[in-house]
C-alpha cells in the first residue's frame, strides 16, 4: 500500500496562477547560476526565515540558498528534490524542515515521507552533510497536533541515527512556551502555552524572537558541519550585523 506522504507529487494549481511551479522554476535557475555552501529546503518555516533580519546576519554570509515553499507537504518537497532542484549544485550542507502541513497523515506516514526525502537527497548529494530539523510545537494550547509532532520527532530520532552524515536537530519545545507557575509541573508540549511573541499565529515564527529560537541552534549545527567556528557574541537586534565577521571566518 502506497503512502501519500512518501509519493512525490507537485502541488495542484487550484488558484490557476501556476505560482508553485513558477517558484520551482525559479529555484532551478538559482541552482544553475549560484554555488551555495548551504541549501535550506522545506515549507513556510524555511521560506519565511529568508525574510527575518537573522537571515542576513547569520545565513547570508554562509552562501545559503533558500528553497522553502509555503504550504509544502512532504510529497511536494520530495517531488522538487527528484525534479532538479539539487541537480546543479554541490552544497556542503543541506537543511530539511517539513511535515507540519501533512494534515490527515499519521505520524508513521509523515515520518515515512520525511525519510523518503532524506533518501532522495542522499542519492542526489551523497557528499553533503544533511541536517533534518524536527517539527516544532504548534497551537496556543495543548492539542493533538503537538502530540503528533512529538511522535514524529521520536521516530525521526531513531531512524536517522542509522544514517551517516545526517544530523537530527530537535529544537527544545520548551523554548516556545511561557514559563510555568512556580512550583508547578514542568512545562512540556502537553501543558505549555505558546505566546504570540514567538509564533504570531501559533504556527509561524515571529521574525525576531521566534526565529532566534530556531536560527541559533541551526546556525551552530551548520557551523559544525562546515568546520567553521564563528563566535557569535549576540544575536539581539540592538547589535550590528555579524555578516562581516562570519564571512571573514569562513575565508580563513
Question: Tens digit of pLDDT for each residue in 111-165?
Answer: 999 999 999 999 999 999 999 999 999 999 999 999 999 999 999 999 999 899 9
Under a CB-based contact definition with an 8 Å cutoff, are residues 237 and 54 in contact?
Answer: no
Q: What one-character-per-residue DSSP string does 180-218 give? A: PPTTSPPP-TTT----TTTBTTSSSBPTTHHHHHHHHHH
Sheet with 166-169: list strands edge to edge.
64-68, 38-42, 93-97, 129-133, 166-169
Q: Which of 43, 44, 52, 149 is catalytic?
A: 44
Q: Which of 24, 76, 149, 204 is catalytic?
A: 204
pLDDT of residue 232: 45
pTM of the model: 0.90
pLDDT of residue 143: 94
pLDDT of residue 16: 96
Q: In the chain, which residues have pLDDT < 70?
A: 1, 180-184, 228-252
Q: Which of 13, 123, 201, 241 is catalytic?
A: 201
Annotated active-site residue 141? The verdict is no
Annotated active-site residue 204? The verdict is yes
pLDDT of residue 41: 98
pLDDT of residue 1: 66
Amino acid at each position: 500500500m502506497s503512502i501519500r506522504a512518501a509519493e512525490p507529487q507537485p502541488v495542484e494549481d487550484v488558484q490557476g496562477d501556476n505560482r508553485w511551479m513558477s517558484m520551482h522554476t525559479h529555484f532551478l535557475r538559482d541552482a544553475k547560476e549560484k554555488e551555495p555552501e548551504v541549501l535550506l529546503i522545506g515549507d513556510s518555516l524555511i521560506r519565511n526565515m529568508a525574510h527575518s533580519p537573522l537571515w542576513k546576519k547569520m545565513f547570508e554570509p554562509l552562501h545559503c540558498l533558500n528553497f522553502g515553499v509555503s504550504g509544502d507537504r512532504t510529497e511536494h518537497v520530495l517531488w522538487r528534490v527528484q525534479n532538479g532542484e539539487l541537480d546543479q549544485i554541490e552544497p556542503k550542507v543541506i537543511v530539511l524542515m517539513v511535515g507540519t502541513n501533512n494534515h490527515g497523515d499519521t505520524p508513521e506516514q509523515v515520518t515515512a515521507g520525511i525519510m523518503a526525502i532524506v533518501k532522495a537527497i542522499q542519492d542526489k548529494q551523497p557528499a553533503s552533510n544533511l541536517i533534518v530539523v524536527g517539527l516544532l510545537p504548534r497551537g496556543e494550547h495543548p492539542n493533538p497536533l503537538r502530540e503528533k509532532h512529538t511522535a514524529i520527532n521520536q521516530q525521526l530520532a531513531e531512524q536517522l541515527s542509522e544514517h551517516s552524515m545526517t544530523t537530527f536537530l530537535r529544537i527544545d519545545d520548551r523554548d516556545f512556551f511561557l514559563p510555568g507557575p512556580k512550583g508547578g509541573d514542568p512545562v512540556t508540549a502537553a501543558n505549555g502555552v505558546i505566546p504570540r511573541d514567538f509564533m504570531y499565529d501559533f504556527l509561524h515564527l515571529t521574525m525576531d524572537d521566534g526565529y532566534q529560537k530556531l536560527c541559533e541552534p541551526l546556525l551552530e549545527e551548520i557551523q559544525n558541519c562546515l568546520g567553521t567556528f564563528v563566535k557569535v557574541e549576540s544575536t539581539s537586534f540592538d547589535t550590528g550585523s555579524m555578516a562581516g565577521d562570519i564571512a571573514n571566518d569562513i575565508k580563513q
